[in-house]
Amino acid sequence: MSSTPSPEIAAFWREFSDAQASLQAQPLRERVESANVIIERHLAGLALEMSGGEDDVVVDLIVTAHGSTDNFPLLMQVVAAAPVLQSYRVRAFRERTTQPDFPIGMDGFELATSDVLIACGQDDGQAALEIRFVREIPEDYWDHARNMAFIMLDHVLGEYDFAVKVGAVDFVDEASDPLTPWVPLSQFAPVFDRYWVDTLGRTSDFPMGEHDWTGMTLAFSGQGDPTGDTDDAQESEDTAIVMVNRSANPVAMRADLTYALTLDLSVGTRDELAAVQDLQDQAATLLELPQLGIMAYTMTRAGRRKAVYYVGDEQLAKQALAPLLLRDEAESLELTIAFDPAWSGYFEFAVHCE
């Protein structure tokens, strides 16, 4: 996440700040509509919601991407760039409802959270949900019921948790695991939180002391012929050594560790491998001491070793690593950063090391 807002973000906040007086003169519902006209002029894919009373001097201004993780980086940049506003507290993401027992209607069909039962399981690093309804759903309203269940989940779990922490969602007649309890959606949030911590181990506590690493060897094979003669194609195979930091699991998917930063360097000789490993370990120390990030896994393959760290702020991470990146062994460095809030890169390997 860049610390410098884009021109579009700056223009949005400038126009919104200038419009505060006129917005305050409107009823809350109309104020939300007017605010969204402003953001739509500058930032596609985002919307604004407001939480508070008509007469509140200050209300919460919620920036939402309606659950689209593709727009989460932009959303977080917008919130980070927010100026001090006289009448608004700016927040990222639609939060959990404080009243989870509620109904919603769609095209004459009504469904309540108490009509929806949830069973929680595991989908690699994420939580998997199975859903069934306790009331009869007319055949013509099945699609409505499914859509309404997703909307309800967004409100019950909150936008970020539902979009990032939940993987597969299946509508079933009975749970795939008969021992898994069914819980009404109206009571599901604390059950989900307990599952996240007690079963998946996501305490959010940054690991201290020596980390627990485990390794495995992967084989990559495929068809290919450097001569281009497909009739004589031969199989080629290469291997990779992957080391996974088990101690990173407690902070996986934390909202302030959403970017995968990769330091990829060449390791042509044993001495180069040792030097690169030392550099990447020092990078981990520089990030982990101030809790700017954590080294999640490494992969050594085809003469290169890459280390992947999950960080919250791209610029702060680069500043912390700047002295290392000037060293001679960093000459072959390829540094990349990608938004990966679900830690999919980490769990691609971590699930095989359990």
CB contact set of 239 (below 8 Å; sequence gap of 6+): 217, 218, 219, 220, 301
Q: In angstroms, rounded to a whole number, what is the distance separating the alpha carbons of residues 200 and 194?
A: 9
Amino acid at 274: A
* Per-residue pLDDT tens digits for 208-252: 999 999 999 998 876 443 333 434 334 456 899 999 999 999 999
> Which pLDDT score is estimated for 229?
40
CA distance 345 to 348: 5
Written as tens digits, the pLDDT of the chain (354 aa) is: 556 789 999 999 999 999 999 999 999 999 999 999 999 999 999 999 999 988 889 999 999 999 999 999 999 999 999 999 999 999 999 999 999 999 999 888 999 999 999 999 999 999 999 999 999 999 999 999 999 999 999 999 999 999 999 999 999 987 777 888 999 999 999 999 999 999 999 999 999 999 999 999 998 876 443 333 434 334 456 899 999 999 999 999 999 999 999 999 999 899 999 999 999 999 999 999 999 999 999 999 999 999 999 999 989 999 999 999 999 888 999 999 999 999 999 999 998 776
- Residue 222's pLDDT is 60
Q: Which of 60, 70, 114 is nearest to 90 (CA)?
A: 60
Q: What is the pLDDT of residue 237?
A: 67
pLDDT of residue 232: 38
Mean of pLDDT over the chain: 92
Instruction: Output the pTM of the full model.
Output: 0.89
Query: Residues, the chain, total?
Result: 354
pLDDT, one tens digit per residue, over 327-343 is: 988 899 999 999 999 99
